[in-house]
Structure 1
Amino acid sequence: MHQHLASPPQARQAVLDLAPSRIREVANAGMDRSDVVPFWFGESDQPTPAFIRAAAVESLERNNTFYTQNLGRPALRTAIASYISRLRNITLGPNRVGVASSGVSALMLGSQLVLSPGDRVVVVTPIWPNIAEIPKILGAEVTRFPLSVRSNRWQLDLDHLLATLTDDVRMLVINSPNNPTGWTISTEQQAAILAHCRQRGIWILSDEVYDRLVFTPGQTAAPSMLSVADPEDRLIVVNSFSKTWRMTGWRLGWLVLPTNLVPQLEKLIEYNTSCVPEFVQAGGLAALTDPASAATVTQIHRELGEARATLLTALRQLPGVTLPEADGAMYAFFRVDGHADSLALAKRLVAEAGLGLAPGSAFGDEGEGWLRWCFAAAPERINTGVDRLRSFLRQS
């Protein structure tokens, strides 16, 4: 006879307290419907470029199905360092690079490197929910610092942020270009934040996965913390192959960090995932080094720019829509007059209009009342989505 415990088995409290993804909540309501036009996830509706897929296939055909180095193949680490050095006009060695099983895994690893239970973390918001929840998994306390809309543009109150970054803060997390707003930090703001954090011993975790998706004329990449930092600053920069090369499903990212943290990162990767599959790394290496890569990145950016112009122009012509200016990422973050509950609105759009958008509340309380539309899609699909939104607004 087994004696049952009074309470059912449960996860620890920090996990119980995690917020479930409201993006998934909306998507799960419509993923099985063929009549829904989906723009809820942050990924392109086009597959990974053929030359990258071919490199992975070739690697598999060479039987590269075994363990590799924890930090990634030396050739890939070298290629990442060379790519960053060229893009940022800095000198970065592969000894500061670690390859991770996705950008989000890199965010978790970076947090595991420096955060302890009870540490205070400041996160610039609204933000992709994973970024704000990861520190909580580790027992850290998260303080949200919201962006604001001024003069119809997403902006950071730098002085207020610096005042928030007091000596008891362990880490600042910034995502720029920002998901969901598209806000993009300036080099001057980065330098001011770095100087302030350097003086107080505060770590900076900079999520730069959208760095090539910037639409300011003449810019090939958004400003990077790496351009203003010293090699041994308390700075961890996370990036990913997902957005620039349309490789979301590959789960391949990287970290750049001070050299003395790299052996510690090596240990953490061993105890998290051990290594990234070699054939996945082969795809990443091709993305960085294949002769077709530069032209492909340019084409992807051009297509995104055209899709962005199509969507933003159309949305701003709809009655009751507010859409502030922003320079980067792959999203329109907008609100509709009379619809304060973004989750309810997103679910209604799926059910009544066949339109799949992400609710703003998925990105925190600051996003309540807003919707996120990923424009990494064909213009004709975007136009279909806008037609459905227009019809919905007429009838509601």
Structure 2
Amino acid sequence: MRSAIQNLEESKIREVANAGMGRADVLAFWFGESDEATPEFIREAAIESLRKGETFYAHNLGLPELRQAISAYTSRLHPGVKADRIAVTSGGVNALMLAVQALVDAGNEVVAVTPVWPNLTAQPLIMGANLRRVSLVPKDGAWALDLQKLLEAITPATKLLVVNAPNNPTGWTLTRAEQQAILDHCRRTGTWILADEVYERLYYEATPNACAPSFLDIASPDDRLVVAHSFSKSFLMTGWRLGWLVMPASLTQHMGKLIEFNTSCASVFTQRAAQVAMERTDEVTPRVVAHLKACRDTLVPRLQALDRVEVASAKGGMYAFFKLSGFGDSLEVAKRLVAEAGLGLAPGNAFAPQAQGWLRWCFASKDASRLEEGVARLERWLG
């Protein structure tokens, strides 16, 4: 087996979840998904597709109708993105891995902004890349970017920059000025940008297009930019495993070849469901965002009221990322919370060494009382 695979760290989030799965007394907030089922009309579209017998292979790049629907959806939010720049993938994770496979050779230098979902740093390592992490800076429970430090880390030797904003786990979001500075700098160094923007609609600040700032707003169609998206978060479709990539049109055909040798294609019936979700997005996403904002505003003030807890209200995403003072290893703390308090959270050191002592709480809960009970359990445990 390749040493790059042998040396991969197992997911610390999964390690905590495995310790508590199957226990009815545990309130689980460890994974990044809502506990609300996919809307019925989306499920019905998949069922109807199956009834029609649509159980065969599809085009590598996705159904033309879905790619066109994604094009229309994306072009509502950002300057026009044509369907020839879009590839449908078997999940957002698959989208990100495909992008890394397409752009990174063994020995290439990759820079990643952390703390970040561990898959984003594992994927370059799987390809044999040399990974450099540039950490956000924590202050008063919030995390911010040291822009100059990041720009200094990106040199002509840097093949790829990986950035996730709105960020999992911190909720940090790039400003338009920061995006422009990063894009301009990467143009000079010839560096590709892989932007994980799956949380762009889960943004709680007022904006004209109801989403977070995107590199697509300022980039040219032929810029060295690949943007990854997913149906999981904004459409409540985590288990469907469907995502998409936006890239320069010159890359699309090659991405189709790569999809062929990975998964061949996404299943047709899931794509039919996704097409309906895209076409009826106004019936889903605004309600999801409003509900998640209410969840955030339920959880964060209660955490802020606890002694030994430092947390700021995230502008985007679906997580409260908080520092628990007086404790050591985040993984051990998370395991203790499962065993002793029946509370399932993700350990901060799963996302970066700099996040040791932090915990991530996914607040995407259809029942706010679960969040309140979770805080009560944490408070009792701290006492």
TM-score range normalised by the length of the shorter chain: over 0.9
**What aligned pairs does 1:316-327 form with structure 2 within 5 A after superposition?**
316-327=304-315
C-alpha separation in 1, matches of 2:213 and 2:238: 22
Render the CA deviation track for 1:335-374: whole Å, top value 9, x for unaligned: 1111121111100100000000000011120221100000
Contact 1:240 1:254 (C-alpha < 8 Å) held by counterparts: yes
Aligned partner of residue 261 in structure 2, secondary structure: helix
- Alpha-carbon deviation of 1:75? 0.4
- Alpha-carbon deviation of 1:295? 2.9
* Partner of residue 197, structure 2: 208
* Partner of residue 113, structure 1: 102
Sequence identity percentage? 51
Contact 1:101 1:276 (C-alpha < 8 Å) held by counterparts: yes
- Alpha-carbon deviation of 1:151? 5.5
**What aligned pairs does 1:334-353 form with structure 2 within 5 A after superposition?**
334-353=322-341
Matching residue's letter, 1:327 = K
Uncovered stretches (5+) of structure 2, i.e. residues with no partner: none
Which of 233, 243, 252 is 1:253 aligned to? 243
* Partner of residue 225, structure 1: 215
Contact 1:242 1:250 (C-alpha < 8 Å) held by counterparts: yes
Any runs of at least 4 consecutive aligned residues in structure 1 with deviations exceeding 4 A, and if so which? none
Instruction: Give the number of the structure whose alpha-carbon radius of gyration is greater.
Output: 1
C-alpha separation in 2, matches of 1:150 and 1:374: 21
Matching residue's letter, 2:173 = T
* Partner of residue 12, structure 1: 2
**What aligned pairs does 1:64-83 form with structure 2 within 5 A after superposition?**
64-83=54-73
**What aligned pairs does 1:272-351 form with structure 2 within 5 A after superposition?**
272-290=262-280, 293-351=281-339
* Partner of residue 359, structure 2: 371
C-alpha separation in 2, matches of 1:35 and 1:91: 49
- Alpha-carbon deviation of 1:325? 4.1
Render the CA deviation track for 1:212-263: whole Å, top value 9, x for unaligned: 0111134610111110100000000000000001100000000000111111
* Partner of residue 149, structure 2: 160
Contact 2:113 2:135 (C-alpha < 8 Å) held by counterparts: yes
* Partner of residue 3, structure 1: none
Matching residue's letter, 2:336 = R
Render the CA deviation track for 1:158-204: whole Å, top value 9, x for unaligned: 11111111111100000000000000001111111001001110000
Two-structure CA RMSD over aligned residues (Å)? 0.9
Contact 2:296 2:313 (C-alpha < 8 Å) held by counterparts: no
* Partner of residue 15, structure 2: 25
* Partner of residue 357, structure 1: 345
Which of 131, 136, 155 is 2:120 aligned to? 131
C-alpha separation in 1, matches of 2:43 and 2:28: 24
* Partner of residue 266, structure 1: 256
Matching residue's letter, 1:340 = G
Pick which of 122-131 and 151-160 moved more: 151-160
Render the CA deviation track for 1:292-315: whole Å, top value 9, x for unaligned: x30321111111011100000100
**What aligned pairs does 1:55-94 form with structure 2 within 5 A after superposition?**
55-88=45-78, 90-94=79-83
C-alpha separation in 1, matches of 2:241 and 2:17: 20
Contact 2:104 2:127 (C-alpha < 8 Å) held by counterparts: yes
* Partner of residue 163, structure 2: 174
Which of 357, 370, 379 is 1:381 aligned to? 370
Aligned partner of residue 121 in structure 1, secondary structure: strand
Matching residue's letter, 2:265 = C
- Alpha-carbon deviation of 1:153? 2.9
Contact 2:203 2:316 (C-alpha < 8 Å) held by counterparts: yes
Pick which of 266-275 and 148-157 moved more: 148-157
Aligned partner of residue 87 in structure 2, secondary structure: strand
C-alpha separation in 1, matches of 2:242 and 2:101: 18
Contact 1:154 1:326 (C-alpha < 8 Å) held by counterparts: no
Contact 2:300 2:312 (C-alpha < 8 Å) held by counterparts: no
Aligned partner of residue 272 in structure 1, secondary structure: coil
Whether 1:141 and 2:130 are equivalent positions in the alignment is yes
- Alpha-carbon deviation of 1:73? 0.3
C-alpha separation in 2, matches of 1:36 and 1:384: 11
C-alpha separation in 2, matches of 1:218 and 1:209: 17
Contact 1:206 1:237 (C-alpha < 8 Å) held by counterparts: yes
Matching residue's letter, 2:296 = R
C-alpha separation in 2, matches of 1:287 and 1:304: 19
Render the CA deviation track for 1:95-137: whole Å, top value 9, x for unaligned: 0000000001000100111100000000000010000000111
Q: How many residues align?
A: 381
C-alpha separation in 2, matches of 1:243 and 1:210: 7
Pick which of 317-326 and 369-378 moved more: 317-326
Contact 2:142 2:170 (C-alpha < 8 Å) held by counterparts: no
* Partner of residue 46, structure 1: 36
Matching residue's letter, 2:361 = W
Contact 1:361 1:367 (C-alpha < 8 Å) held by counterparts: yes
